[in-house]
Structure 1
Amino acid sequence: MLRVVGFASRLCRGPARQLSAAAASPIPAPNPSPEIAYNKIFINNEWHDAISKKTFPTINPATGEVICQVAEGDKADVDKAVKAARAAFQLGSPWRRMDASHRGKLLNRLADLIERDRAYLAALETLDNGKPYSIAYLVDLDMVVKCLRYFAGWSDKFHGKTIPLDGDFFCYTRHEPVGVCGQIIPVGHLIKKAAAESNLKRVTLELGGKSPNIILSDADMDWAVDQAHFALFFNQGQCCCAGSRTYVQEDIYNEFVERSVEKAKSRVVGNPFDFKTEQGPQVDEEQFKKILGYISTGKREGAKLLCGGNPAADRGYFVQPTVFGDVQDNMTIAREEIFGPVMQIMKFKTIEEIIERANNSKYGLAAAVFTKDIDKANYVSQALRAGTVWVNCYNVFGAQAPFGGYKASGNGRELGEYGLEAYLEVKNVTMKIPQKNS
């Protein structure tokens, strides 16, 4: 799917933060058959059919049934959207002349509307991608609202500076929007290639990951097992920053594996609209088959299948929570992003060894270390080559903190003040100051 927007920041997406005290709040009962009110392309504040009149089916991953037909945009629709966005960006346009504080007010208004329709939007999300309704309601929608309100606050505060330039000059900077921005989700590698072959388009990319989750022998065992499970299985394992390489120090390895297998076996897989469900279906049939293929590869290459490994239902794209032990770094399941509920647990001896192994990956999106020793925590977190390092926690996100990767995990950052930089040009204005009255 391709979305073209004006010169505004994108909404928060992707991996969500941990469930917090919000989980104690009452959640309205879901409507498992929400009305599909909009299935067209939104351009210039209006809904449009695709110019080609083409549509594509969107599938309920819990049943394999068609939810509805959705307008299928192509180049002509993109051109139409870009034309509208460029008109909004023209010098003297109502949007360009709008006060920055008023733009912030509009973002807050959008957040208000999302809060108003939170249950409906959560039900649509669950119907469309299989995410448990309680997670969609408590986590995803909560993060969207907080993200909008955070950047609404920045609208009249991300200002330039005055600079004490040598000589009789007054120098200041302005932060100005780059112009029309295209948001394409996902296909990041294709975007990077296309940008390189064109006219030096600026790109920010949040790509894949194979994030190491390091459990030192002095870690709180109960907490480390819980968090490692959460790090991998949250969102059916479909998180780019999932803790998909679980490294456990050798003297606690056996106990950790035993507890992790027990926890995976007790994970509730089923109807995503049921409040008891912890894991819904994978997002589509292609991903479902891909995950089962990786499981077969893991077994074939000698990893020890400790639980799961099969479809979890007769229909729909459900995969059993799966745990592999005795995984080696050179195995396919230890090197490639599976993007599913497949946990790989590996053994290590020393901190120096694990730092080298953790960094020996083309990815560098996220990492974590669990330890009670603050010196070890600081040492490991500084040594890891990753855009986010969690210490004694995992999947903790906030609109205020930057997110992005090293190496093949992406370019640039989303969220926080750093997330604004990709959307701005910095203009230097220097004025001659006369030293005499003429």
Structure 2
Amino acid sequence: MSHPQRHADWHQMAADMRFETRAYINDQFVDAASGETFETLNPATGKCLAQVASCDGPDAELAVGHARAAFQAGEWSRLAPVRRKKTLLALAELMEANRHELALLDTLDMGKPITSSLGDMQGAIGCVRYHAESIDKLFGEVAPTGDDSLALVLREPLGVVASIVPWNFPLMMTAWKIAPALAAGNSVILKPSEKSPLSALRLAELAREAGLPSGVFQVLPGFGHTVGKALALSMGVDCLSFTGSTQVGKQLMQYAGQSNLKKVYLECGGKSPNLVFADCKDLDRVARHAAEAIFHNQGEVCIAGSRLLVENSIRAAFVEKVLAAAETMQPGDPLDPESFMGAMVDETQHRRVLDFIRQGVEEGASLRAGGEALKGDGWFIPPTVFDGVTPQMVIGREEIFGPVLAIFGFDSEEEAIAMANDSDYGLAAGFWSQDIDRIMRVTRRLHSGQVFVNNWAGGDQTVPFGGVKQSGNGRDKSHHSLEEYSELKTVWMSLAT
């Protein structure tokens, strides 16, 4: 079924699916060297989808060797940018043709609603196209010198890039990492999350069909503490790109220091503030956006608007509007196009979120909605709302990565800014106001990599995505990500007179 529309259509397509479960090394699908496998589960049912190759150090060493050989051979790294562009555009076309299958793989693997997965596919395809189109439009530099010299500044690919991606947006995060790295001419080794490896392995099939040379793109499924650690410690990896938790990001930086000082680009956790001032218009619309900011993708979003700061003069009325909006966002079968939320990715995350909710109650926050797991198969948690949260509470400081909203009150702009910035994280922030002077003041004072004004999570491929403080140091999307996957070389020529 090429164009599923209804709930039943998606279930039929899921029943007919066959999964690639082997590692992709040097243009071949192979078992892990150890022969070991791991289960990948369907979060909506708790049942096993497939047994996937569990790669480890020997697999990483083999893939790095092939990646280095491919880079040195130059079939991709020294290929004219316009020809790399052609191949990546072919990959984007194949992704477009197979978007329903790719979306379904992500929904089955990590529990997100199929409608959300379809949106992710458009983002992933757009990312590959953007970087393909960008690569032959970036120029080097000629430095200003006297007549007796000529100075050039060249951009060259780094070499071997290892990309470690998360489970919450499996293929879209993959595209954000691999598209600029490949466009710049690097060899790329992808380590998908063990919780959502299936779409990455299908992408490998499409990359081969698109014509990427052997060794230029490889996929190693497995665990972070095995194959992920091996890639991070490898002396043959020149750059490590990671999206995930701050704790793991710190470990990866240590591994880089213990090995070859490889470049490390991190997009880590967040506890993003969303400020609502009394002068904003249409509180019903703002309340719905505030609810979507935390409950989209079951709250398993790095930039989730998990801290809602509301001016006290409108807080009581606004909270009621948020609760009404949340009531319309209940979880359902991820294969139902009408479901706003799906299932938590696995039992561990399900239990972790419920533990935070219990701690919020114990800390004295007012539980206004949700709070308990849904009964039945799968790992489902409804929208959960706490009011009366203070900055000292754990639910107001720690990244929960689930559908849990913490609401704070404030009386002044200064108090709101101080509260918003009182966090270890700085990935995103938003605020709602009609006062242009306030917009300019607050935008400059929020300590965050991204600020959304009168929206949440706005943006496209032209703007960089990333954070400050313990939310990381790299940037995905835009031409700035291409800069991260290339190296500057200065050439100074003395001209004979």
TM (norm. structure 2) is 0.80
2:160 alignment counterpart? 180
Shift, 1:397, TM fit = 3.2
Partner of 2:52: 70
User: Cα deviation per residue 1:395-419 (whole Å; 9 max; x = unaligned)?
Assistant: 2231211011100000121110111
Which residue does the alignment assign to 1:204?
A: 265
* 2:259 maps to 1:213: no
Contact 2:295–2:329, Cα closer than 8 Å, also in 1 = no
Distance 1:314 1:26 in 2: 26
Q: Give the structure 1 partner of residue 217 of structure 2.
A: none
Matches within 5 A, 1:35-434: 35-90=17-72, 92-137=73-118, 139-166=119-146, 168-185=148-165, 186=244, 187-220=248-281, 221-434=283-496
Give the AA of the match of 1:357.
M
1:27 Cα deviation from its structure 2 partner: 4.8
CA offset at residue 188 of structure 1?
Answer: 2.1
CA contact (8 A) 1:207 1:408 kept: yes
Counterparts of 1:363 and 1:196 in 2: how far apart (Å)?
23
Please tell me whether the aligned partners of residues 212 and 247 of structure 1 are also in contact (alpha carbons under 8 angstroms). Answer: yes
Going from structure 1 to structure 2, the CA distance change for 1:266 and 1:143 (only over 3 Å counts) comes to same
More deviation, 312-321/101-110: 312-321
Quick one: distance in 2 between partners of 1:169 and 1:85? 37
Amino acid at match of 1:265: E
CA deviation after TM superposition for structure 1 residue 167, in Å: 5.5
Unaligned runs of 5+ in 2: 166-243
Computed over aligned residues only, the root mean square deviation of the Cα atoms, in angstroms, reads 1.4
Output one character per residue of 1:116-145: Cα deviation in whole Å (capped at 9) or x when no partner.
0111111111111111111111x1000001
Q: CA deviation at 1:422?
A: 1.5
Aligned to 2:200: none
Q: Distance in 1 between matches of 2:126 and 2:84?
A: 16
Aligned equivalents of 1:430 and 1:166: distance in 2? 12
* Alpha-carbon displacement from aligned partner over 1:162-214 (angstroms, at most 9, x marks no partner): 11124510111110011101112333232122123333221000000000000
> Quick one: which amino acid aligns to residue 97 of structure 1?
R
Q: Could you tell me how far 1:374 is from its partner in structure 2?
A: 1.4
- For 1:12, the equivalent position in structure 2 comes to none
CA distance in 2, matches of 1:214, 1:34: 46
Moved more, 399-408 or 153-162: 153-162
Contact 1:34–1:120 (8 Å) recurs in 2: no
Q: Which region of structure 1 is more displaced relative to structure 2, 267-276 or 323-332? A: 267-276
**Distance across 2 between alignment mates of 1:97 and 1:244:** 45
Question: How many angstroms does 1:83 deviate by?
Answer: 0.8
The two structures have a TM-score, normalised by structure 1, of 0.91
Map of 2:14 onto structure 1: 32
Q: Following the alignment from structure 1 to structure 2, what is the Cα–Cα distance between the partners of residues 174 and 249?
A: 51
Size of the aligned set, in residue pairs, is 409
- Contact kept in structure 1, 2:145 and 2:151, CA below 8 Å: yes
